[in-house]
Amino acid sequence: MIVYCDTSFLVSFLNEDDINHQAARDASKRWDSHDFVVCALHLVELPAAVRAAIHRTDSPVPRHIARRVINRFDRAVTGGLLIRRDLPMMDAVGMARTLGDAHGWDRRHPAFDLWHLGAAWALAAGVFLSFDARQSKLAKTLGMATV
């Protein structure tokens, strides 16, 4: 089974200083015999999000911690812990658009959240790991297991 994690889940998983680190580790254990996949979306967003976190007004991430998280992510991809899959871009974007059309009028669903869900769907993920309740709810509507 394919397991897809959103970016914030991966950051928590890779950073033992993160408040959700242990929860991410515990949640991932349930699926540790399955394939954890990443795609181009992760390769762009994760480093950018971590670098952006060093500039937060409240609780900025120290620069050395941000570099450590990015390095761990890169090693996990290079080492095969996170399996890189090509993203069928138009399928992912189409599903993200469909989810936005169907659910974006009632609740706030930022573009990257919808894009992650579209990517997970396009990659045939059976599991979607996120700490975002809105994303998890939509993942369930797509037939994915969540935490």
- What residues contact 84, with CB distance under 8 A and at least 6 apart? 37, 38, 39, 43, 77
User: How many CA atoms within 13 Å lie on the side-chain side of 143?
Assistant: 7
- Number of structural domains (the chain) is 1
Give all strands of the β-sheet with 2-5 in edge-to-edge order.
Answer: 83-84, 35-38, 2-5, 127-129
**Using only C-alpha atoms, what is the Rg of the chain?**
15
Place of tokens 């869900």: 117
Cα separations in angstroms, 18 against 14, 61, 104, 118, 146 = 9, 9, 29, 26, 20
**How many residues can be counted in the chain?**
147
Provide the CATH number for the domain around residue 106. 3.40.50.1010
Q: What is the pLDDT along the chain (147 residues), one digit of tens a residue?
A: 999 999 999 999 999 999 999 999 999 999 999 999 999 999 999 999 999 999 999 989 999 999 999 999 999 999 999 999 999 999 999 999 999 999 999 999 999 999 999 999 999 999 999 999 999 999 999 999 998
- Which domain range does residue 61 map to? 1-147
